[in-house]
Every structure is written in structure tokens, then in C-alpha cells.
Amino acid sequence: MYINISNVNKQFTHKGKLFTALNNVNLTIEKGEFICLLGPSGCGKSTLLNAIAGFDHPTSGSITIDGKEVTKPSTRNVTIFQNYGLLPWRNVLKNVELALESNKALKSGERTEIARKYLDLVGLGNFADASPHQLSGGMQQRVSIARALTANPDIIFMDEPFGALDAITRMKLQDDILSIQKKEKKTIIFVTHDIDEAVYLADRVVVMTPNPGMVKKVLTINLGPGRDRTSDDFQKIRNIIFETFNMKHSYPIEYSI
């Protein structure tokens, strides 16, 4: 067991009222797993992600990574958000190099070499000199993925990273992150409210429901790599998740071109 989340509760006080954002969450995650935290708005996905990443603390319960209690964010891990987080005054390469600037053991040339390797990996080798504003949203998110990988993290936390992208770009980036995961074998914890995205990406989907935020079901997705969104098995898993949310579609989703 790599990450252990044990009896985690999180309460917030809002306008004098106590609100339970996470109710008795128990979950273990193995090294190298791709985990999707899936659920509707307000079910506590980001709250759970932030607690595992050390940005916030549970009200009670414990979270350990590699046997150590999480008390603050670790430089061993990185988080990718929806809004890319690139510095507009730096070119693409310098944005990626940012991940290595605190590592004083590296010479500037070495930093550049590592950053270029990951820019190539995300298919943006030819855009090293571009400014972030010259790139599309999908390309900007690829730069932030390259920057995250450059730091050689143990865990990559992703909070709805593709939420601002159009459907086609989103599918392309889903494929990119899967092939990167295959090459780099990182542990990825990925927040989404998109059922198809979760079933397409995850080794396991953690289905969460709101009021109070809790884990309703954990589904192991045994579809292997190269998943087909239109296959019967894919639709079956999708239906199980819809049922969990009590909103099962009785008709198959249509695909028309």
C-alpha cells in the first residue's frame, strides 16, 4: 500500500453552519496506479485531492504516503490545475525549466536538456521559443504536463485538468496522458466529473456522492489499454456508474459523425 486514506472526515464552517465535505473516506492506492476521483459538483473531490496533496488537512482521520503522515505539500509531488498556471512572460521552454530551478545541483545546460526532453514527449519540441499566449489551450496544458514531468514527481495530482478544453482536444490529451503514464509509470490521482473520461483513463474509479461527500463505490476498470468508448464493456461500466448516481440512461449513447 502506497497511499493510505483512513477514516478521513473534513468539515467546513460556512455562515455558522457545519458542513461535511468528506464523510469517513477510506481508500488505499498503490504505486503507479491511475486513480480517478469522479462525482458531481460538491461531492468533495477537490477537498480529498487537496488533503492527499497536503494543501489542506482532514478534520479527523489520517493520510499517509509511503508510511509517512501527510502534513504539508511535498516537493516530491506536483499538481496540475485546469488553468494551466504558465508564466506569461516566460517562453515555453523557460516555463518547463521552472520545475528545475530550485535544484541547484543542475547546471543551466542540464536544466534545458531535461526540459527539452519532456517538451518533445508532449509533442511541443518545436514550440520551445513560443510565448504561452501563442498556444491553444490544449497546447498550454501540454506545457504544464511537461513541466510537471520535468520535476520527476512521485505523484501527479490533476484537478479537472482538461475541463476547459473542447471535446476533441480533450480526447487527444487523454490519449497523451495515458501514453505518458505508460512510459513514466507515475502514480496519478485525477479529479473529474466526466464519467467517460474516468472510465477511459483509470485503473480504478472512485465514485463519490455529495451531501455528505463520501466514497460510494470503487470500480476496478479491467478494460486494459487502448480502450474503446463504444464497446459493450465500456458501456457496461458506464451504466454501473450511472446507476450509482441514480441516473441510468436507458438508451445507449449515440455516436454519429
Binding interface with ligand ATP (CB under 6 A)? 12, 14, 19, 21, 39, 41-47, 193, 213
* Closer by beta carbon to ligand ATP, 21 or else 135: 21
C-beta closer to ligand ATP: residue 19 or 234: 19
44 or 132: whose CB is closer to ligand ATP?
Answer: 44
Q: How far is the CB of 139 from ligand ATP (least distance, A)?
A: 24
**CB of 94: closest distance to ligand ATP in angstroms?**
31
Cβ nearer to ligand ATP, comparing 99 with 207: 207
The DSSP code sequence of the chain is --EEEEEEEEEEEETTEEEEEEEEEEEEE-TT-EEEEE-STTSSHHHHHHHHHTSS--SEEEEEETTEEP-S--TTEEEE-TT----TTS-HHHHHHGGGTT-TTS-HHHHHHHHHHHHHHTT-GGGTTS-GGGS-HHHHHHHHHHHHHHT--SEEEEESTTTTS-HHHHHHHHHHHHHHHHHH--EEEEEES-HHHHHHH-SEEEEEETTTTEEEEEEE----SS--TTSHHHHHHHHHHHHHTT---SSPPP---
CA dihedral 100, 147, 94, 113 (to 10 degrees): 70
Calpha distance 152→100 (Å, rounded): 10
Residue with Cβ nearer ligand ATP (127 or 157): 157
Please state the closest distance from residue 67 (CB atom) to ligand ATP, in A. Answer: 26
Closest to ligand ATP by CB, 180 or 206: 206
